A = this chain, B = another copy of it.
């Protein structure tokens, strides 16, 4: 989108945030990173985005300091993309979007449920734990499948994400 050019004159933190995460596919890449996806091929399989776009988005997110690209194996050389602290701080944005989609867009069953891993309570509308009355960090959230989820997705990443799992735990589609 080349947002930097067009939103530059906007005197607004929202516009500045959208310059970074407002492009097509970008927030879905970040969402998958929270779900534990780390590798190019897994993002590709789960998102269905064109390869060139995915490569551009990953690079832009690394440049923006949202993702960190790091070598996890030397031979053959393989890199993975991991959320930085700045990327982890995007969780409230994803939560707010998901909560709005669940509450305001009719005609669908719940896709995924999010629980406070420590106590098992399902998170409230603001992403907080109603039992502990405190905000819950992404690392302390357990994701469980809902009734609206396709029980047999075509891609291996989607299948691996059917199991209850904690956010941010690295995904291994082959092991599922």
Contact = CB atoms under 8 A, between A and B. Distances in A.
Given A14-B31, A89-B103, A24 B9 contact: no
A152 to B, nearest CB: 11
26 contacts: A7-B28, A9-B48, A11-B111, A11-B150, A11-B158, A12-B31, A12-B98, A12-B101, A13-B98, A13-B102, A14-B27, A14-B28, A14-B98, A16-B108, A17-B100, A17-B101, A86-B104, A89-B103, A89-B104, A90-B100, A92-B96, A92-B99, A92-B126, A93-B97, A95-B96, A126-B126
Interface of A: 1, 3, 6-7, 9-18, 20-22, 24, 27-28, 31, 48, 86, 89-90, 92-105, 108, 111-112, 126, 135, 148-150, 153, 158
